[in-house]
Amino acid sequence: MSQNIKIDPYGFREYDARWLYEKDINQSGIENLGKGLGTQIKIHTKKENPNVIVGHDYRSYSEEIKTALKKGLLSTGCNVEDVGLSLSPMVYFAQFNLDADAVAMVTASHNENGWTGVKMGIAKGLTHAPEEMKELKEITLNEKFTQGEGNEKQIKDFDKIYKKDLISKNKIKKKIKAVVACGNGTAGVFAPDILRGIGCEVIELDCNLDWNFPKYNPNPEDLEMLHEIAKVVKKNNADIGFGFDGDGDRVGVIDDKGNEIFSDKIGLLIARNLSNKHKNSKFVVDVKSTGLYSKDAILIENNCETIYWKTGHSHIKRKVNTEKALAGFEKSGHFFFNQPLGFGYDDGINSAIQVCHLLDNQNKKMSEIINELPITFQTPTMAPFCKDEEKYIVVEELVKQIKNLKENKTEIDGQVINDILTVNGVRFSFEDGSWGLIRASSNKPSLVIVTESPTSDERKKKIFDFIDELLRETGKIGEYDQKI
C-alpha cells in the first residue's frame, strides 16, 4: 500500500466498516475503500457499470468522506446516484425505488464524533455479512481494483419520496401524542415529519441537526437519552416516546409513564399485534432477546414461530429474508419488516410506526399493554473489555466450559442448564426460562453479557455473578461499560 494511504484493517467489522477518521483512515484510504467496494459490486453483479446509491449522515466530515468514497467508486466504473443527506433506511429504500445494484451509506451511526464508517450492501435490502466484509477487506488492502469510467447523478429531493412512501401506507385513526427524540442526529429532519404525516401529535426533542451532539450521542440504548425522553413524556402527558439513533435505523421506546421498554419486549408486542392479522407467520429475534417469545400464548395461538438467531443487523436481516419471516427484532432496537410491511431492512421510523399501529388497534395505554406481558428481570447489555484479537478465542473457551457444566449437570443457583444455543457465542437456559448469554461484540473490543430471569431479580443477578466469575478466571477481561 502506498505511503500516504492509511486504512487500519481492524476497521473492517462483521457487517460494516468503522474507523476514527484521520487516525485510523485518511481520505486516500476512503478512496481505496470506494475502489474496493466498486470492484466487489462489479464482481457480484457482473455488470460493467452498476448503479450505486450513496448517501451520508449529518456529521461535519461525512460529506468529504462521501466525496472520497464516490471518487473511488467512479474510478472502477460504477455509476453513482447520490441521494444527499440521508438515513440508512432511506438509502436502502432508494435501492428498491430506483432499482439500483448496490448501496453505500456514509455513517458511524451512534458512535462518538471522530468516528466514520460505511454501511453497504449489494443484494436488495441486505447489508454486507462477514463473508462480504472479508472479501471487501482483501480487495481493498491488496489493491486488487478494476478500472472503469462511471458517471455521477445527484438525485434531488429523494427524502420527499421516502417520507411519502411511509406516510401513505400508515395513516392512523387515533391522535397519538408522541415525543420524538433524535439526539441532534440526522433523524431530526425525517422522524417528526413522518410521524406527523401518519396522524401523530409530535413533541420534538433535540430534532435540530447539530453534529457536535451537544447533549449526548443519539443512541437509544444509552440511558441518558432514555431518561431525557422519559422526562418530556411525563411533562407533556404523552402517549409514547421514541428515541432514534444517529442514522435512523434503530428506535428506543418509552411508555406513557416514562418507563423504558426494552426493544425485545416491544418486538414481542408488535409480533403479537401482527400475528392476529398475519397468522402462521415467522419472526426472527437475536440471541440477546427475551425468552418470552418461545412460550408466548398469543403467538402460539396464531400458529407463529420464533427463531433465535445471531445478533447483528446483517445476520437478522438475512435470516428474515431466507426464512421469509414477517418481521425480525433485535435487542439493540433494529427491527426488520418484510412485505407487506416493508422491504426487509431495518428502519427505526417504520418501527415507531408499527408501535403507533399497536396503540391505534387497542383501547389501552402503552403501560397497560406492556403490563400484559409476563414480568421478567433482565440486565442491560453489558460490555466488559476484551481485546479484538482475543475476544473470539475467549468465547470459544467459555462455550466449551458451559457445555461441560451442562453435561455434568452442574447446578447454578440450584438449577441445571437444560438448553444451549451456540449460533452466536453461547446462550444457556434453565428449566424456569432463565438464561445467560456470552458473546463477542462484533464492533468493539469487548464481550457482550446479558442475563434474564422470569423468576426473580435475585436469580438474574446470580446468573450474572456466575458469568462474571468465569470471565475473571480467563484473566483476559477488563472493565465493564456498565454493570448491575
> Full-prediction pTM beyond 0.85?
yes
For residues 300-321, b (16+ Cβ closer than 10 Å) or e, as one string? eebebebbbbbbbbbbbbbbbb
Predicted pLDDT at 314: 84
Fold of 9-156: Alpha-D-Glucose-1,6-Bisphosphate; Chain A, domain 3 (3.40.120)
Could you tell me which CATH number the domain at 160-259 has?
3.40.120.10
Q: Do domains 160-259 and 261-371 have the same CATH topology?
A: yes
How many CB atoms lie under 10 A from the CB of residue 6? 17
Query: The domain 261-371: what is its CATH number?
Result: 3.40.120.10
Give pLDDT tens digits for 121-178: 999 999 998 899 999 999 999 999 999 999 999 999 999 999 999 999 999 999 999 9
* DSSP-derived 3-state class of residue 157: coil
CATH H-level, domain 377-474: superfamily? Alpha-D-phosphohexomutase, C-terminal domain (3.30.310.50)
pLDDT category at 2 given cuts 50, 70, 90 is low
| Residues ≥6 apart with Cβ < 8 Å to 411 | none
Q: How many CB atoms lie within 10 A of CB 469?
A: 9
**Of 328, 325, 324, 278, the residue nearest 298 (C-alpha):** 278
Task: Tell me the pLDDT tens digit for each residue of 271-309.
Answer: 999 999 999 999 999 999 999 998 899 999 999 999 999
Tens digit of each residue's pLDDT (9 = 90 or more) over 177-202? 999 999 999 999 999 999 999 999 99
Tally of CB atoms within 10 A around 463? 25
Distance between CA atoms of residues 250 and 247, nearest Å: 8
Q: Are 421 and 482 contacting, i.e. CB atoms less than 8 angstroms apart?
A: no
**Mapping DSSP to helix (H, G, I), strand (E, B) and coil, where does residue 90 land?**
helix
Q: In what order do the strands lie in the sheet with 251-254?
A: 201-205, 177-181, 240-244, 251-254, 260-261
Give domain limits for the chain: 9-156, 160-259, 261-371, 377-474
Q: Tell whether omega for the bond before 340 is within 30 degrees of 0, i.e. cis.
A: yes
Burial (0-12, 13-18, 19+ Cβ within 10 Å), 220: buried
Position 277 scores a pLDDT of 94
Sign of CA dihedral 96, 102, 105, 110: positive
- Dihedral (CA of 367, 326, 194, 87) sign: positive
Residue recorded with cell 469487548: 446
pLDDT at site 56: 97
